[in-house]
Amino acid sequence: MTDAVVFACDANYAPYAYFAGRQIAMAHPDRSFDICVFSMDALTPPPAIAQLGIECRRIPGANPFEDAVHQTRHTAATYLQLLVPPLVHGNYRRILCLDCDVYFCGGDLRKLIDLDLRVNLLGGVRDHLQWRRPGKRVDEV
């Protein structure tokens, strides 16, 4: 069973997901993981993206977050990553969900994918706001 690096976005953020996916694909030409862009929108990636093996997959149905109250600058598309795990269940050993606007600087993503999570089903990192204000207390969940 293989692994996947996953982005989830609407059509507005697809170019950013393609850019990040391209960076990862170029750094890992012999990769042992898929790179997938999930969207509720029908995406048509540029030919250069498709040639790198970056897949676009459709999230079926309506966005359940559309009617949610968004008290920040985030839109309903921000939460699309939450819809991906049930869509890929049984197809991948692990998925690494990345924000579309990441800039991949290099390194071996396989090390991150294979990180020992011990008994945990999910791993995460601090958001950029905690990086900028390292003294800010973050509630552990």
Question: pLDDT 10s per residue in the chain (141 long)?
Answer: 899 999 999 999 999 999 999 999 999 999 999 999 999 999 999 999 999 999 999 999 999 988 876 666 778 888 899 999 999 999 999 999 999 989 999 999 999 999 999 998 888 876 666 667 777 666 654
pLDDT at 74: 75
Q: Is the dihedral of CA 91, 18, 20, 16 positive or negative?
A: negative
Predicted TM-score of the model (pTM): 0.87
pLDDT at 141: 43
Of 8, 2, 30, 31, the closest CA to residue 20 belongs to 8
Number of H helices, E strands in the chain: 5, 4
d(CA 117, CA 123): 7
Of 20, 52, 57, the closest CA to residue 36 belongs to 57
Q: Is the dihedral of CA 120, 125, 127, 129 positive or negative?
A: positive
Give all strands (DSSP E) within the chain, no chain letters. 2-8, 33-39, 54-58, 92-97
pLDDT at 47: 95
